[in-house]
Structure 1
Amino acid sequence: MAAAVAGAAAVGFGRLCDGAAGFHAALAHTAAVAGLAVLPIGLVLAAWAARRFAPHASGGGVAQVIAAAEDPRRLPDDPRVSLRTALVGGVLCLVLFACGASIGPEGPTVQLSAALAAWLLGSRVPGRRALLAAGGAAGLAAAFNTPLAGVVFAVEELAPGLPRGGARAVLLGVAVAALAAWGLNGDYVYFGRVAAPALTSAWLAAPVAGLVAGLLGALFARALKSLAGPQPGALGRLRARRPMAFALGCAIVATAAAAVGGLTYGTGSTEARALVHGAPAHGVVFALLKWLATLAAVTAGGPGGLLAPVLATGAGVGAALSRLLWFAAVGDVVALSMTASLAGVTQSPFTSAVLVLELTRDPGLAGPLIIAGVIGQTVSARVSGRPLYEALAQVQAA
């Protein structure tokens, strides 16, 4: 029952996020200046509200679940996965979407699903790590309709090294949540079906996409750790000393990026979906602006996920690379670059590959996607060092 509730909650929250993003899209279309003006207001307001009402709602949400899974305190009372934190974070996430912030819904969704699992079962079910991993993975699976990615995400990120009983709990929880999501959304494909045969050109393009998109993802992870990690740089120390001033600076940066044609609003899924299907675009401009806007939004202090904007950034890289890799299909290069970009940020190559595989339903790309993800992860390990979520979880554990 808990998994079904988590899955239904994830689907419901996703629809609310879509509605909030649609509100901003309509506002920006009818009054471009107003659509731009609400962005800095929303970022600063969300940062203040998170600090005031639910400090553990700040950030992506995934790091909180990872840190909570390793902590022996009583589950329902853990503020990192409490219903209060998850609900406040969810509301603020909706506010940010309504203001056009470059964030994704998946981080708060994972936190919400884990919080629901902890609230419903935390005092009765042994195995804290398995419980939170199952709840978080169920949220990801239901949010994107990607059950396999939910399982791999739990094993690779949320609670690596789960015992056999814990793995069974994750599998069951994801299966039930995915069934609930399917019942509510139907056979939904996030980026639309990309049915294409496995071509030699995709295998040849995979290393290039892995290197370039993986490097951009690695630089994102390195910058984020410098600003919000356990060993912050100069700007990160300023963020700790004067958080609201830093949030204002982030709001200015995000607004400047959005002012260039309004390319950076929201998750970027609409742009990424078009690029996957071969639509012409200025990939370099979109990728760089999305990279900057997402970094500003997620470090400002409010809630928001990384996965969707990072995938969109990778799609922009792929669109640019497709002009150089003329021998490969544009959609293939975009999918490979999305995988490498996400692997570069998270250092989770198999989660990245399986997620993109399920988001596009293109089984012919399975092998090239894994290659691109592994190369992206390798580049990130050298450029960025410690995995991003591991570093952010250390901050949440402090």
Structure 2
Amino acid sequence: MILAVLKEKAEESRVSLVPEVVKQLVQQQVTVWVEEGAGVKAFYTDEAYREAGAAIKPRTEILQQADLLLSIRSLVPEEWNQLAPGKILMGVYQPLYNQELMQQWAEKQLTTFSMDTIPRTTRAQSMDVLSSQANIAGYKAVILAAYTYSRYFPMLMTAAGSIPPAKVLILGAGVAGLQAIATARRLGAVVEVFDTRPAVKEEVMSLGAKFVEVEGAADASKAGGYAVEQTEEYKQKQVEKIAQSAAKADIIITTAQIPGKAAPILISQEMVENMHTGSVIIDLAAATGGNTAVTKNGETIVHKGVTVIGNSDLAGTAPADASKLYARNVLNFLKLMLTKEGQLDLNFKDDLIQGTCITHKGEIVNERVKNLQPATA
């Protein structure tokens, strides 16, 4: 079995496997090919991959001969249209937002594993790419906010006078949110946090932040670790609470997303305009529409004196560590389907293999993708 690592598109700085993980796969008798220059943007050289036991190959040869293709982002149509039936693709393909593409891959008889759909269970924690990458994104969001903000984060008492600490509001206490809390607190900010799940209150408070409570949230305990849609009554209460906190905030970091749907608008245009001049918003949900009414994905705008940065790819700004963590997630997942001889054994009785597989033998086999209606903007 030939496992191959492809070089990503220009906008992606990470790489699917790092040399230390390649070495472990080679020791398990897996033949590993790496496209020329695949790891350069993440600071992993071709020579490092060779030393780990990989063969450096041109892209054309990889697409023609490799059995399992690792690529964080999807291939372009000109490439996947040329793949032979039975090829296996593994990456982060956002199938809940790309149902048409998944259907096309199914019709091409490709087997697809999308690492962002792995069931979020205790057993899957070491394979959870959403968590490993969100951790970095939460950290980087605060660093970016501190760099952009025109004032200090910590309280300072100097001979020239005192500087009050920055007030940070974080919307969403998932992995990214919790890391953002910890980072903002380490920088000396005063932090408030909002989340629809009352169960995270203890975690938020343990990190030194204040939890903003809104009564009447829908139960998310059976949503597999993901956020759920809320009632209109709850949303109205939520708007009022967030508006109060947003008006006082110097920095807002938003992380709220619902799988398969547009990100909920938590910060209205009016709320943005009620923030004081010089405030900063970092919107990590920009790729699915954003949590503010003025967010533009991949852009930094200034709206009535408030800087709004729409960036869902902050993990890629730390490509060396982001790639290392991602590669370990992939390795742990591959261990579920590799024999002692380094061959693939796709055991679909395993709930993690089944839950992560999107297309197989000409069909979309993932129930969440099959049942989900197309997302609306």
Q: Please identify which structure carries the higher strand content.
A: 2
Bigger relative contact order, structure 1 or 2 (CA pairs below 8 A, ≥6 apart)? 1
Which TM-score bucket, shorter chain as reference? Answer: under 0.3
TM-score (norm 1): 0.26
The structure with the greater share of residues assigned to helix is 1
Could you state the TM-score of these two structures normalised by the residue count of structure 2? 0.27
Structure of larger gyration radius: 2
